[in-house]
Amino acid sequence: SHPVIDVKGLRTSFKTDDGEIPVVNSIDFHIKPGEVLGIVGESGCGKSVTSLSLMGLVPSPTGKVEGEILFNGDNLTRASESKMRKIRGNEIAMIFQEPMTSLNPVFTIGEQLTEALRIHRNWNKKKALARAVEMLKQVGLPRAEELVREYPHQLSGGMRQRVMIAMAMICEPKLLIADEPTTALDVTIQAQILELMKKLNKETDTAIMLITHDLGVVAEMCQRVVVMYAGRIVEEGDVHSIFRNPKHPYTVGLIQSVPDMRVKKDRLYSIPGNVPKPGSIQLGCHFAPRCPHAMDRCLTETPSLKPFENGQQVRCWLYEDAKGAGKHDSAIS
């Protein structure tokens, strides 16, 4: 089937005193109907700017979005603001990490849930409210008929995130972008919210782009995963291949930092060093300053994304001969 969204050569840059700096640097990916794609990386890797670019929310003229974001036959990087307003919250919806900041404290849950239906579908108040109640039940909230008259502060964090999901799903979007949707929640609630997103994904054809720094969440939710580092895709593949046989040293580091419930460690492994500031590294592999395998050429030449037979792709000089012998083995043991 055709992808819901097909991103080609997406480059998002910002004007600064030091010139124009790319935060997302020529990335390609697509998501198929009903698929859950994970986008992982530490904060500062360009994940959130990628989602803002898809939603048409990069502030101009400071920010500039180039390349192609193909959605329903349109290139969204060229779409007008009025066109994007028709798509946002309707065909592409988004949920964020902190529901309190995205819910308006002065409007009731019902008013906020029905807004998209009244704007995008032109539904009357009664019909929209009935659908809101139905949607609250679908996301597992009790007393839905009373809840629509309540305000965000009357709800717990977990309940608010369920409301946000109901709000995002109410127009049956083709694509749901979830940016760290469970990061602010405690572990039990986090598991419930992931379970709910899985259920909605199975019941509808909505594709999900799940942005997270947590590979545990990816393992739970996604079919495919894109690993981003410093604005670039450094590895991509199906979840099983990535977890069983991570190839890029950054992916290996991320996987080593996932807590293993069976092994009790005093301290969790974390990759030494920090994500470079956008624009601070021009040449070579952006991961080189943190990479235990860095070679001379890594500092001067930028590796390209090399495909393997199983669909996995990796951007690293260790895999220069990707087509050669041992192609399914990691170069790192």
- Closest to ligand SF4 by CB, 224 or 247: 247
DSSP 239-306: HHHHHHS--SHHHHHHHHTS--TTS--SS----SS-PPPTTS--SS-TTGGG-TT--GGGGT-PPPPE
* Cβ 170 to ligand SF4 shortest distance, Å: 43
CB 180 within 8 A of CB 97: yes
Report the distance separating Cα 225 and Cα 214, nearest Å. Answer: 12
User: Which of Mg ion, ligand SF4, none lies near 48, with the C-beta cut-off 5 to 8 A by kind?
Assistant: Mg ion
Site string for ligand SF4, 257-296 (x = CB under 6 A): ----------------------------x-xx--x-xxx-
Q: Is 228 in the site for ligand SF4 (CB under 6 A)?
A: no
48 versus 251: smaller Cβ distance to Mg ion: 48
Which is closer to ligand SF4, CB of 96 or CB of 317?
A: 317
Measured CA distances, 217 to 40, 167, 199, 275, 322 (Å): 10, 22, 15, 21, 29
What is the rounded radius of gyration, in angstroms, for the C-alpha atoms of the chain?
Answer: 21
The DSSP element (H or E) to which 224 belongs, if any, is: strand 224-229
Residue 305 as a binder of ligand SF4 (CB under 6 A): the answer is no
Alpha-carbon gap, residue 32 to 117, rounded angstroms: 25
Task: Give least dist CB 162 to ligand SF4, A.
Answer: 40
- Cα separation of 100 and 206, whole Å? 24
CB atoms within 10 A of CB 33: 14
Q: Choose the contact partner of 239 out of Mg ion, ligand SF4, none; CB within 5 to 8 A by kind.
A: none
Shortest Cβ 46–Mg ion spacing (Å): 9
Residue 229 interacting with ligand SF4 (CB under 6 A): no
- Closer by beta carbon to ligand SF4, 70 or else 294: 294
318 binds ligand SF4, rule: CB under 6 A: yes
Q: Which stretch binds ligand SF4 (CB under 6 A): 45-53, 98-106, 163-171, 311-319?
A: 311-319
User: Binding residue for ligand SF4 (CB under 6 A) from 39, 227, 228, 298?
Assistant: 298
Of 196 and 294, CB closest to ligand SF4: 294
Specify the pairing of strand 306-307 against strand 63-71: unpaired
CA pair distance 137, 153, nearest whole angstrom: 19
Does 303 sit near ligand SF4 (CB under 6 A)? yes
Q: Which is nearer to Mg ion, 183 or 330 (CB)?
A: 183
Q: How far apart are CA 147 and CA 128, in angstroms?
A: 15
Give min distance, CB of 50 to Mg ion, in A. 10
Binding of ligand SF4 at residue 317 (CB under 6 A)? yes
| Site residues, ligand SF4 (CB under 6 A) | 248-249, 285, 287-288, 291, 293-295, 298, 303, 316-318
